[in-house]
Structure 1
Amino acid sequence: MATGLLLAALGSPALAQQDTPAMRKALRVCQDPNNLPFSNTQGEGIENRIAEVFGKALGLPVTYYSFPQRLAFIRNTLRYKLPGEDYPCDIVMGVPAGFDQVSTTKPYYRSTYALVFPRGKGLDQVTSSAEFLRLDPAKLSKLRIGIYDRSPASEWLSRHGLVERGVPYKMMNADPQQYPGEIIEKDLASGKLDVAIVWGPIAGYFAQRVKSPALAVVPMQSEPGIRFDYPMAMGVRYGEREWKQQVESLLESRRTEILAILKEYGVPLVDESFSAPGK
């Protein structure tokens, strides 16, 4: 999920001035322009919707600074500053908790990778990753399982002797028109794949969008040494303590609205106990 970036703590006088909430004239959000279900330039993503909730609570308009979430996303958005100019955006709405390229808030949801497959194709009895592995070996040996490279799914297939069943997709694609849900919306829906293993919000959202065939979403539980579930937070620049506290206050006061948005988008939500076997 997180791109590889360099850690930089910013603590200049200009930063301290920017941290004064009363001076904000807009909620300026760093976003990927084509990254549903999280964000896009049409404001259709989960993070767009939550940003609008925050903007309303703050009494501020919401503006976006867009940059493809490939390598160097944080450096080119949250930390981007030309001499004599202000930062173009002040918050990243979704980062893994503890992501060290930003100062992260407390987590506001936890999700997990999920199996996605068409209903009525012989997999309807599968309600967990353990049940998937208990399928008849002859059936497993014929499945085409779409995964993103360097994801926990690729390690999971290797551990369980299913490497040859995997169909790898690039985690980082230079094509700005590519989006993470293509693996479901195009290849799984068309029958090119039998199963896809993707990050939960992507699984839930695109499974809802595909009307035919109907798709099942099965959350995957972590195993010793393979972690599927992660808590997600928001990120601000290092040194902006007051702004971070204000964002955390919004996360708490708007918790009900945020949860409703996550559920509307089909995000599989799990609690911390879900990851216990993987610790």
Structure 2
Amino acid sequence: MRVCADPDNLPFSHEDGSGFENRIAALLAEDLGLRLEYAWLPDRRGFVRKTLGAELCDVIVGVPAGFERTSNTKPYYRSTYVLVAPASAAKVHDFHDPRLRHWRIGVLLPGDDMAATPPGHALMQVGAVDNVTGFTVPGDEPAAARMVHAMERGELDAAFLWGPQAGYFAARSGVPLRLQRVPAPAQVATQRFEFGIAMGVRRGDTALRDRLDAWLVQRRPDILRILSDYGVPLVEGARP
């Protein structure tokens, strides 16, 4: 079984097999009686074209459920962006909390501007601009890890992170941190914070997609246990 993956993208995947997508892939390969092989490539622009498109591999273990460049299974988990803040801080209930305009907050910059992520866009809408620092995807370690390390050093007060990254790196922080779900403000009601995650295969490969769908149903309890091991915050009952 040939899997396309990033070699340094914890908690999702790592070339040493320590990511939760590695564990899911290993379980899948074992059940199918196949040898597990990887096509490693940093998950940047052109990832699908250079992996699935070049026929170097056949499965991407984690893609957004509505991703248009692959043929996707039904989502096997749903998560959300969360605020990572000191465990001692009072809960932030919404984006109008005045602390969000004064705390030094980190956000991911997958594109060229802060609004590229839903929380970054929401912060801009409520006037939190000068106190927000963007962290680009390329770096010596995942951007989420860099943000948590910045909180450990006292350089950030909080960060908005994608749920699986937040749960994993916050649990390994040298300072006590807490994850909080903060609903999007009304100004950005169309900006989704929650997303379903599916497996992706080459477009047109419906046989493999359907086989994976059946396996995901069969192994759902085991997959949920793996996600729990990594502290992934799950959203139940949400749309894909």
Normalising by structure 2, we get a TM-score of 0.90
1:71-220 matched pairs, under 5 angstroms: 71-80=45-54, 87-120=55-88, 123=89, 125-126=90-91, 128-130=92-94, 133-134=96-97, 137=98, 139-149=99-109, 150-170=116-136, 172-173=137-138, 175=139, 177-210=140-173, 212-220=174-182
Pair 1:241-2:206 in alignment: yes
RMSD between aligned residues: 1.6
Select the structure of larger CA radius of gyration. 1
User: How many residue pairs align between the two structures?
Assistant: 230
User: What amino acid is aligned across from residue 266 of structure 1 in structure 2?
Assistant: G
2:112 corresponds to: none
- 1:180: Cα distance to partner? 2.7
The corresponding residue for 2:191 is: 226
Identity rate, percent: 40
What does the per-residue CA deviation read over 1:131-162, in whole Å, with 9 as the maximum and x for residues that have no partner? x633xx3x444310001131111111011111
Shift of 1:129: 4.1
The answer for unaligned runs of 5 or more in structure 1 is 1-26, 81-86
Change in 2 beyond 3 A, CA 1:104/1:222: farther
SS at 1:192 equivalent:
coil
1:240-272 alpha-carbon deviations (Å, 9 max, x no partner): 111111111111100000000111111110124
For residues 211 and 182 of structure 2, the distance between their equivalents in structure 1, rounded to whole angstroms, comes to 34
Which residue does the alignment assign to 1:253?
A: 218
Question: What do residues 46-102 of structure 1 show as CA deviations (whole Å, max 9, x unaligned)?
Answer: 10010011011111121111000011000111111xxxxxx2211000000110000
Change (3 A) 1:140 1:256: closer
Partner residue of 2:22? Answer: 48
The residue that corresponds to 1:3 in the other structure is none
Using the size of structure 1 for normalisation, the TM-score is: 0.78
| CA distance in 1: counterparts of 2:222 and 2:237, whole angstroms | 21
Deviations 1:167-203 (A, max 9, x none): 1122x42x4x331322333212221100000100000
**Any unmatched runs of 5+ in structure 2?**
110-115
What SS does the corresponding residue of 2:198 show, helix, strand or coil?
A: strand
Mapping of 1:24-35 within 5 angstroms? Answer: 27-35=1-9
Assess, with a 3 A threshold, how the Cα gap between structure 1 residues 59 and 225 changes in structure 2: closer, same or farther: same
CA distance in 1, matches of 2:217, 2:234: 17
SS of structure 1 residue aligned to 2:61: strand
